Amino acid sequence: MTPPSTPPVPPASPADANRRSGRRVLIILFVLFFGGAFVAGALRFSGWQPGGNKANGQLLEPPVDLRELPPQRLHGGT
């Protein structure tokens, strides 16, 4: 005795293939954009800081307010 046969599945139309392809691209773009934003937010709010975030040099004591001084060019002039 042979098992009951199922009717053959008709091939997908080109419009269905285009729709699936477009949907796949949209989902990939969504995951790339919002995934990166989600990871950045999670790192930011967890308190993580990248290494090498340290300033090198010496601070001026006492701090000088440079807003009053006009900028000067390298060879004189303003």
Residue ranges of domains in the chain: 16-46
Kindly report, residue by residue over 7-39, the tens digit of the pLDDT: 776 666 777 888 888 999 999 999 999 999 999
Q: If you average pLDDT over every residue of the chain, what do you get?
A: 83
Take residue 39 and report the two structure tokens written for it: 């990871």
Q: Is the per-residue pLDDT at 53 higher than 70? A: no
pTM comes to 0.43
Residue at token pair 């009717």: 7
Give the pLDDT of residue 74.
Answer: 86
Give the pLDDT of residue 1.
Answer: 60
What gap in Å lies between CA 25 and CA 18, rounded to an integer?
11
What gap in Å lies between CA 64 and CA 33, rounded to an integer?
43
Give the pLDDT of residue 70.
Answer: 83
What gap in Å lies between CA 71 and CA 78, rounded to an integer?
6
